[in-house]
Structure 1
Amino acid sequence: MATETPTRALFMLFGGTGDLALRKLYPAIFNLYKKGSLSKHFALVGLSRKELTDDEFRAKIIDSIASETDDKAQAEEFASHFYWKSHDVNNLGHYAELRTIADELDKKYELEGNRVFYVSMAPQFFGIVAKNLKDQHVLSENGGFNRLVIEKPFGRDYESAKKLNDELTSAFNENQIYRIDHYLGKETTQAIPVIRFGNPIIESVWNQNFIKNVQVTLAESLGVEDRAGYYDTAGALRDMIQNHALQIVSYLAMDEPNTFVDTEIRKEKVKALESMEIYDAEGVKQNFVRGQYGAGDGSPAYRDEPGVPKDSNNDTYAAGKIVFNNPRWGKTPFYVRSGKKLAAKQGRIDIEFKKPLVDIFAKGTKQPQELQSNVLSLLIDPKVGIVLNINTKNSEQGFHTETVDLDYVQSPERAAEVPLPYERLFHDILNGDGTYFASWPEVAAAWKFVDPIQHLWDATQPDFPNYKPGSMGPKAADDLLARDGNSWYYPNVR
């Protein structure tokens, strides 16, 4: 195996002592350092309003990577590349100071002008940071790359997302912007194109002629916890469906790209997302369901959680049907659902195939048997794997059919070696690979689909709470599939 050449880069991390940075980002960068994707030619400047010394900041870094380090000397050497700058994103003078620091570190570490700007802050600061970085000449101007990384949420609706995007693209080109979605860094999500396009036995039946329905489940067992301030303004539809679920769906629904490069993949994802049927008010009522958890299992109702208004109509559960108006899918339904306080933490994709047009086992035998649908399950979280449920004959006397699983589930040993999502995504950012990042046309198409749903929900009074903790959501979500003659495959796995 060829040895990877370490990337030279300066990271500037806005929100440098935030929870995300300390829990996820610094350990991810450290793992890249351990594996050789980064070496001696890198540096990171942490930024926020806090007053810290470099040594105080480095102590935080060493603490954040403690579970990943092999020895103290390694951790200290890594942390020595970290610097702190107290920074107010609205203060233009601070950007001039940042430019000076960047130029000094570029020379010290021989970074060739490569710069990654990671904004781990509230969305209202994204545009301000991008504009000031350009106007105050913090961007590299000597041939190195400039890459802007932003966390979700990317807007609250299409209009706010477009305004934000216009602000970003006034300072950065679209191919320099990396809208990070940690679900796109997960092992199974990244495997979808290979499973589909690398296996003719699968891709040949990946269409409306053979697939009955597709189900994407992103279930959480925890409640809102300490995120009420954000979550009560977002809800399951905005927080999970608009981004994570629709991004996964786009990889499942897209046509085969000409080549496996980010520009071609994004082109096909956009075509799929733009072919989604946009629902009017009646369509929303028929095809989307919302929920909010009540009290149960010794835990409070959502409205009784700390920081949640007593009259909140926020959705902690959302489920719906997506239809693609294109030749590949016809009216094949794609069902998505996500919610809090559900029966288990479970991320999975279940593809149910159609039964044979003529079931020769249902008649003409002494003991008629009804075949079950084949189901291909792609397990995302907490287990990673692939399961194909097929029909066969059981071993009893006489003729009896049964279903069995052909499965590959990642072993604990293999799982321990797999890069975590943020590590994968940082690696792609350093390599300039946008395959597993959302482009603006994808984000725009997702918001145009979600907006009519959210607008109707905002304008109507729900009957909340409507599901119990430990369940899989409101009954209306089961009825949604039943109207099409379908049912949720999980947790009623055969």
Structure 2
Amino acid sequence: MVIFGASGDLTKRKLMPALYSLYKDKRINKDFSILGVGRTEYNDEDYQNYILDELKDFVDSDDQDKTAMEYFVSRLHYLSIDPSVEADYEELLVRLQELTGEERPSNLLYYLATPPSLYGVIPLHLKKYHLNGKQTRIIVEKPFGYDLKSAQELNRIYTSAFSEHQIYRIDHFLGKETAQNILAFRFANGIFEPLWNRNYIDYVEITAVENLGIENRGGYYDASGALRDMIQNHLIQLVALTAMEPPVAFNETDFRNEVVKVYDSLTPLSKVDLDEHVVRGQYTASDKQKGYREEKNVSPDSRTDTYIAMKLGISNWRWSGVPFYVRTGKQMPTKVTEIVVHFKAAPHQMFHCTEGKCPKGNTLIIRIQPNEGVLLRVGMKVPGSGFEVKQADLDLTYDKLGGIPAGDAYARLIEDCISGDPTLFTRGDAVEASWRFFDPLLKYWNNSPDAPLYGYPAGTWGPLESEAMMNEHGAAWTNPCKNLTNSNLYCEL
């Protein structure tokens, strides 16, 4: 395995802990080798010591095995080159020849943990030095392009150097156990699938928010924003999992075909949608937190969005008329990713309601992080005299399944790539279909400098205008409590 950007943040926080867990659990061959590539100067020994120290910080203490960690880092190597310079790949070729004993190394897995500016450069340099053989595979992080045109150009570059089955566009959300469980929940339970349509579902919310700022990533984030960072990839994938038709089989072709069908069915954004059904926000200073424009490497007059809430429609037989509300934001009150499905209320309410507050329709909450699980809110009779009905929660959280770990998303996806299974990776036509939907929104913002950008104090749930957008449908955002460390999946503010 060759990791470009081996001295960077993603490698030490996510990739190395994931690879260590694969080794520790005996899910990769004991004779593996990992070559880190980056601009930072290290020799093999220095790099091994650096990663060993980082593993102690980023691997849970219960999973730290001193012997296993020391063996794991002994399989690490390092090459200091500039990945943007074509001539430096001569050194990469020589080093791989030494490690593999092959004149033309071919059984290789590349991981691009680099800035997006290198995504279009590295595959062409690998091709130049014949390091793109049929047995090689390449994993590319998001964002895959900044708009439709750049995504199409990246697809052209990658397919000129590799076949589509060699390209693994990673979205770590799809490696999460609970994201995959959406499919099992829908398609393995006969009681839900007949209700999973416009006849029984009122609206759907999909939320992915964080209680942190941009954490010294101002240079990247100020050129990206919330739409490119989260909506166009992570959240639209969750929309697809929620809305897709049942695949004929869960394999790389049928599953990914259904994902593309959802993207192709997204209702194009009208002028009214652009003006009223997309809410952009940027966090401002609060009592304890500084504002976005005060962050390092951020322009003092930046108009980059750190919050997006928008209403989507899906123009097909199953979902016509059902709004999908998606939102993402930085500096929110808590960190949570969840899907909330609101079923329509019973057509006639015959029971007593306290203070006129009758139970609403059933709500299904699929929590992806943290405290992963599924909760269903149902109407239940209050014990005692009379016939008062209140909503009660039936919840299943992963921490109640006898300590079964949910698993690491990166470990799962890297293992899939090693075994040659691209099912949970994004296909090239899906990337373009997604950008085709969002591209008009980006152009609208670029051509309308006075398009609203609402401020919201850090630590709040975003601009109030996003609530007004929901109120058109008689709906409201589901805001989980700030403390998500307890055993309950959901609690009210």
Q: TM-score, normalised by structure 1?
A: 0.91
- Matched with 1:405 is 393
Q: Distance in 1 between matches of 2:274 and 2:410?
A: 34
Give matches, 1:88-237, under 5 Å. Answer: 88-107=82-101, 113-140=106-133, 145-237=135-227
Q: Distance in 2 between matches of 1:250 and 1:483?
A: 24
Contact kept? 1:48, 1:87, Cα under 8 Å: yes
Q: Distance in 1 between matches of 2:357 and 2:282?
A: 41
In 2 relative to 1, CA 369–26 (structure 1 residues): closer, same or farther, beyond 3 Å? closer
- Matched with 1:44 is 34
> Quick one: which amino acid aligns to residue 83 of structure 1?
H
> Quick one: which amino acid aligns to residue 152 of structure 2?
K
Return the offset for 1:101.
2.8
Deviations 1:118-148 (A, max 9, x none): 111122212221112122112346xxx2111
Contact kept? 2:3, 2:37, Cα under 8 Å: yes
Contact kept? 1:98, 1:138, Cα under 8 Å: no
**Count, aligned residues:** 477
In 2 relative to 1, CA 366–390 (structure 1 residues): closer, same or farther, beyond 3 Å? closer
- Matched with 1:79 is 73
- Matched with 1:8 is none
Q: Does 1:337 align with 2:327?
A: yes
Return the offset for 1:358.
3.2
Deviations 1:293-317 (A, max 9, x none): 2221322222222322221111111
2:100 partner SS: helix
The one of 396, 408, 412 equivalent to 1:420 is 408
Deviations 1:245-300 (A, max 9, x none): 00111111110000011211000010011100111333211221111122213222
Contact kept? 2:132, 2:161, Cα under 8 Å: no
Q: Does 1:474 align with 2:468?
A: no
> Quick one: which amino acid aligns to residue 18 of structure 1?
G
Q: Distance in 1 between matches of 2:357 and 2:88?
A: 74
> Quick one: which amino acid aligns to residue 410 of structure 1?
Y
In structure 2, runs of 5+ residues without a counterpart are 482-490
In structure 1, runs of 5+ residues without a counterpart are 1-10
Contact kept? 1:355, 1:372, Cα under 8 Å: yes
The one of 302, 305, 313 equivalent to 2:303 is 313
Give matches, 1:333-412, under 5 Å. Answer: 333-361=323-351, 370-411=358-399
Return the offset for 1:367.
11
Q: Distance in 1 between matches of 2:252 and 2:354?
A: 55
Q: Distance in 2 between matches of 1:307 and 1:369?
A: 50
Q: Distance in 2 between matches of 1:186 and 1:173?
A: 26
Q: Distance in 2 between matches of 1:15 and 1:178?
A: 17
2:149 partner SS: helix
Deviations 1:94-132 (A, max 9, x none): 323323332332349xx9942101111122212221112
Return the offset for 1:489.
2.4
Deviations 1:28-51 (A, max 9, x none): 101000111113231111111233
- Matched with 1:248 is 238
Q: TM-score, normalised by structure 2?
A: 0.91
In 2 relative to 1, CA 93–332 (structure 1 residues): closer, same or farther, beyond 3 Å? same
Contact kept? 1:46, 1:82, Cα under 8 Å: yes
Which range moved further: 146-155 or 464-473?
A: 464-473
In 2 relative to 1, CA 119–52 (structure 1 residues): closer, same or farther, beyond 3 Å? same
In 2 relative to 1, CA 26–328 (structure 1 residues): closer, same or farther, beyond 3 Å? same
> Quick one: which amino acid aligns to residue 67 of structure 2?
A
1:46 partner SS: strand
> Quick one: which amino acid aligns to residue 13 of structure 2?
R
Contact kept? 1:295, 1:302, Cα under 8 Å: yes
Which range moved further: 385-394 or 182-191?
A: 182-191
- Matched with 1:5 is none
1:292 partner SS: strand
2:119 partner SS: helix
CA RMSD of aligned residues (A): 2.3
Return the offset for 1:63.
1.7
- Matched with 2:267 is 277
